[in-house]
Structure 1
Amino acid sequence: MIDRLVPDAARVRVVRGRPSSLDDDRAVLDAVTDRVAATGVPAVRAWTPHRQVAFGRRDTRADDYELACQRAEARGYSPIERSVGGRAVAYTGSTVAFAAVIPTAEADPRQGLDARYEAATTGVVGALRSLGVPARRGEPDASFCPGAHSVQAHGKISGIAQRVRRDAAVVSGIVVVDAHEELAAVLDAVYGALDVPFDPTSVGSVARAGAPTPPDRVVDALYDSFCGEVRRASVDAASLLDSDV
């Protein structure tokens, strides 16, 4: 049983910031994962991605996927495709994303799947509660990117997904900080095109839960909750794109 997402490690790399372009920002996670696999040192990244709608694989196979992309672009959101997770997720520019990359020692890396989900959900709930958000597990009906690993407080605030390689597991997710009405509006248009049930009032945020907090404080709360007392070595996200290790 994992009681923290980064357990019993001598140290953890904390990746901060984001590159200036959306494409470079997306490349950071692959660079982080390769570095974790090569060194065995876990890494955690929390940041505010560029304004975008990230579509899941099921979305890309929908009949009106192109219409959904057009609706996102019309509202100022760049459409991208992601390799992990379920349905579309939107990032307003103040929305926080997180990714914990854990080296896998098991013969079958999927053996730790449930434990990592449990630790990540516990970590998100703990981080939000430290900010005064009455967070709890679960999600309202017809939420964005519906799934079993979600956190809510006056609406869905966070969803968590996982991707497993032979040498590393990537546990990632989203925390809605504010602008939940804007996020709900773009997702309503996108989900309508995809013919996916969605209730705009199901979108929550840290601000809607009564604890307005800057994104950087949410980032720090996630680092504290995921890493605990493990010694942290900070690295700039953009620098990873110029490094071989």
Structure 2
Amino acid sequence: MTSLLKQEKWRFIDHTSLGPFFDAKQSFAYDDTLCASVGKGESSPTTRTWVHHDTIVLGIQDTKLPYLNEGIDHLKSQGYQVVVRNSGGLAVVLDEGVLNISLIFPEADKGIDINRGYDTMVELIKELLAEENVQIEAREIVGSYCPGSYDLSIDGKKFAGISQRRLRGGVAVQIYLSVTESGSKRANLIQEFYRLSLKNEETKFIFPDIVPNTMASLSELLGKEMTVQMFMLRLLQTLQKNSQQIYTSDMTEAENERFQQNYQRMIDRNEKVFN
């Protein structure tokens, strides 16, 4: 089966340097917008890269925590913004040392089942780290935050998590890559969030019991300084290798209109949760 990384054209959108005022709610609205464009054939398959400053992204299940407000107050006291995404999964930390990559395909293209979407992202990350000569595993890392069967790890320590969203004929496969800083420090923050939000109360949904040393950044795991910019360069080289053309473009007028609607939905969703 042909790799989904191999596309005739890749559209590339870089949102890594928009700064501290770039709101994570916008990112999820952008991916929903691009899902529709790619799904309708108005856009080529698209890679979008994004970085957010000091933001905790909660999953929908997190909003059901019995003492959620106390957990959120703690995160805010540590200087973090808190947003709720429009898809599954649980709490994750985003900051300047975390690179997010979205791969957006038309769902009809070569029959993308859910595992194929995940496998494509795993294939991409293995290519980005090929020169490091490390063994990357895709399996659940118990004790990590937002655990899932496609956690990416080296020597049993998780450095990335993958999620997937299907909407309006498009598939967005999203990954967060902990590139720099301390993975366990990020995990400590989420551990304390759950401690304050749960207070040992029994809940229908089982929230993760965070063990901070199950998580690390790539800089820690590889024993050398890695940067977001380094991965951006490797990503562009990989996309060029797998396509006849890679091009950058702004959002079209139709996409901007759709984006405003999707962004308003995200604002409304968050206001409903936090008010």
Distance change >3 Å, CA 211–CA 191, structure 1 → 2: farther
Structure 2 counterpart SS, 1:41: coil
CA distance in 2, matches of 1:48, 1:132: 26
2:149 maps to what in 1?
148
Aligned partner of 2:235 among 222, 231, 238: 222
2:254 maps to what in 1?
244
Whether 1:113 aligns to 2:123 is no
What are the equivalent positions in structure 2 for 1:54-133 lying under 5 Å apart?
A: 54-105=57-108, 112-131=113-132
The answer (yes or no) to whether the contact 1:129–1:135 under 8 Å persists in 2 is no
TM-score by length of 1: 0.85
CA distance in 2, matches of 1:58, 1:185: 20
The answer (yes or no) to whether the contact 1:160–1:172 under 8 Å persists in 2 is yes
What's the RMSD between the two structures over aligned residues? 2.4
The answer (yes or no) to whether the contact 2:159–2:215 under 8 Å persists in 1 is yes
1:202 maps to what in 2?
214
Distance change >3 Å, CA 105–CA 124, structure 1 → 2: same
Per the TM alignment, residue 85 of structure 1 is displaced from its structure 2 partner at its CA by 3.6
CA distance in 1, matches of 2:134, 2:178: 12
Aligned partner of 2:12 among 11, 14, 19: 14
Structure 1 counterpart SS, 2:254: coil
**Structure 1 alignment gaps of length 5 or more:** none
Distance change >3 Å, CA 53–CA 62, structure 1 → 2: same
Structure 2 counterpart SS, 1:171: strand
The answer (yes or no) to whether the contact 2:74–2:193 under 8 Å persists in 1 is yes
CA distance in 2, matches of 1:2, 1:159: 24
Deviation per CA, 1:74-117: give whole Å up to 9, x if none.
1111110012241100012221111111012169x7x5211111
CA distance in 2, matches of 1:92, 1:162: 21
Deviation per CA, 1:162-185: give whole Å up to 9, x if none.
111241001001000122243123
TM-score by length of 2: 0.77
Distance change >3 Å, CA 194–CA 142, structure 1 → 2: farther
The answer (yes or no) to whether the contact 1:51–1:92 under 8 Å persists in 2 is yes
Per the TM alignment, residue 152 of structure 1 is displaced from its structure 2 partner at its CA by 0.7
CA distance in 1, matches of 2:236, 2:67: 38
Per the TM alignment, residue 61 of structure 1 is displaced from its structure 2 partner at its CA by 1.2
CA distance in 1, matches of 2:123, 2:218: 17
* Mean Cα deviation higher: 74-83 or 44-53: 44-53
**Structure 2 alignment gaps of length 5 or more:** 199-207, 256-275
Structure 1 counterpart SS, 2:53: coil
| Matched residues, number | 237
Per the TM alignment, residue 131 of structure 1 is displaced from its structure 2 partner at its CA by 4.8
Structure 2 counterpart SS, 1:186: helix
1:175 maps to what in 2?
177
The answer (yes or no) to whether the contact 1:147–1:159 under 8 Å persists in 2 is yes
What are the equivalent positions in structure 2 for 1:28-47 lying under 5 Å apart?
A: 28-38=30-40, 39-47=42-50
The answer (yes or no) to whether the contact 1:125–1:137 under 8 Å persists in 2 is no
Larger RCO: Structure 1 or Structure 2 (Cα < 8 Å, ≥ 6 residues apart)?
1
1:233 maps to what in 2?
247
Aligned partner of 2:226 among 182, 198, 213: 213
1:35 alignment partner AA? S
2:273 maps to what in 1?
none
The answer (yes or no) to whether the contact 1:59–1:194 under 8 Å persists in 2 is no
1:200 alignment partner AA? P
Structure 1 counterpart SS, 2:219: coil
1:126 alignment partner AA? E
Aligned partner of 1:160 among 134, 137, 162: 162
CA distance in 2, matches of 1:227, 1:76: 38
